[in-house]
Structure formats: C-alpha cells, structure tokens
Amino acid sequence: MKFKESYKYINPENYIEKFTNTDWYLKLYPELNEYFYSYDGNRENKTQEWLDHRKEFAIMIMELLEADKIPLGKSGTNWDADRKAIDTIVIHHTSTSPDMSLKIINTLGLIRLYAPFYSKKEEPEYGQPIWSNHFYQNKPTFIAYHYIIEQDGTTHHILKDNEIGWQAGKWDMNCNSISVCFLDDLKNKFPTKQAIQSARNIIKQYENCQILGHKEINTKTTCPGGLFEGEDGWKKLLI
C-alpha cells in the first residue's frame, strides 16, 4: 500500500503485517495503550515529539481504515438492543482544531472506544474482529456521536436515533441519550453563533429532554469546556 501522508516518527510499512490479522489491536496493544488508552488528554504533560508520534499513529490507522486494509467484523453483538427511550441530550466538544476531519474522528472512535473494549479478556468479544453495528455513508462507523456540528453550523447526522453512541462514559446514559458534539476546541470559549443555532435546531427535535454536558455525567472529563456551565455559561444558549 502506498501511504499518502509523510511520516517522521514511524514507518507505516513496519506495521502493515500486523493489520492482516483480525486481532490487530492486540498485536498493537503497547502502542495503543501508550498513545491512546492511557492518555488523559492533558497535552501539557507530554512532549511535542510524543504528541506528533501519537498524531502520526492515528493518521496511519486512518489511511489503512480508509483503504479497507484493516479487517473489521461483518457481524457481531447488537449493542443497540439496549436502546431505551430518549430523555437526555449530551453535549460534547472535540477539543481539537475545527478543521479535524470526520475520518480522523472515526479512527479515534475505533482505537479509543472499540479497540480497548475488544482487548478485555473478560469480554466475549475479546480478540474478535471489531464490529460497531453502525454505518455512515455505507461504511462501518465508530463515531460516538449522533450529531457533529462545525463552526459554520454545518451538521453531520452520524448515528440514527435507534443507535447507541458510546459517548457518555456510562452505559445506562448511552442507552437513553442523544449526543451532540461541537467540532471545535471549547475549553475556554463559546461555540460560534452558527454552531449554537444548529444545536438549538437539533434539540428542538427532542422534546422534554434534559441537556447535560459530558462532564456533568462523567467527572473525569472537562468536556465540553470550562465555560459551559454557570450563570453566564453557554449551556443556556441551547434552550
């Protein structure tokens, strides 16, 4: 396979053989654990070289995934069988540059959500080809969000209402919620007016739902940013 991107810290050719196996994520466990599973998102604790290495590793997997070079499951557990009536809308942000592609978000979903789950020896899915039970634009998708909103208000409807997004950090909440994610780094700023309006338009479709930021459910995260809550927070703009 010819890789489109240029790499400084890794040689993708050295990894291709590992991706011929359905349990590729087990063979790549040391790298995946260091750069994704154990990473808490705090960039200040990491060197630029480490961050660049992590970025290259994600891009490599993205290229292989887009080229259909990663063996995925063709069937598997129907996670959506646990779907409950929707009573909550969970708000997220990507905490990344607003030009991040959906392809990278999909890749990160695969290696940050599904791969670690399939690596648990106590689960029946251990070592099996990864299956999400979700499709977007006729391809398997591992994106955790039902909606992704760009800065200009453009909205991508990824998951259907009857599908469970692996997004809240608690399975029970996943089962009865819709997830809306702003494609932006909102650690210390508000979303754009256009993005807020798009979010409002989505929320109007789900009557009588409570609106919660991701961090109001999972205290281990700061998502969707430090200005979401409070008397002057942008949570109020969504109603």
Stated as kind and residue range, the H or E segment containing 202 is: helix 193-203
pLDDT of residue 141: 98
Confidence band (pLDDT; 50, 70, 90) for 41? confident
pLDDT of residue 43: 83
Look at residue 78 and tell me whether its pLDDT is greater than 90. Answer: yes
CA angle 25, 29, 33 (to 5 degrees): 120
User: Stretch 39-60: mean pLDDT, rounded?
Assistant: 91
pLDDT of residue 223: 95
User: Stretch 31-53: mean pLDDT, rounded?
Assistant: 91
Asked whether the CA dihedral 32, 138, 85, 205 is positive or negative, the reply is positive
User: Stretch 76-92: mean pLDDT, rounded?
Assistant: 97
Per residue in 8-21, pLDDT tens? 999 999 999 999 99
Confidence band (pLDDT; 50, 70, 90) for 4? confident
CATH superfamily of 84-99+144-239: Peptidoglycan recognition protein-like (3.40.80.10)
Amino acid symbol at 103: K
Per residue in 140-182, pLDDT tens? 999 999 999 999 999 999 999 999 999 999 999 999 999 999 9
Per residue in 112-150, pLDDT tens? 999 999 999 999 999 999 999 999 999 999 999 999 999
pLDDT of residue 40: 81
Look at residue 111 and tell me whether its pLDDT is greater than 90. Answer: yes
Instruction: Determine the Cα–Cα distance for residues 74 and 56; give it in Å rounded to an integer.
Output: 28
User: Stretch 93-106: mean pLDDT, rounded?
Assistant: 95
Stated as kind and residue range, the H or E segment containing 117 is: helix 115-118
Phi-psi group of 37: left, alpha or beta (phi > 0 → left; psi -120 to 50 → alpha; rest → beta): alpha
pLDDT of residue 204: 96
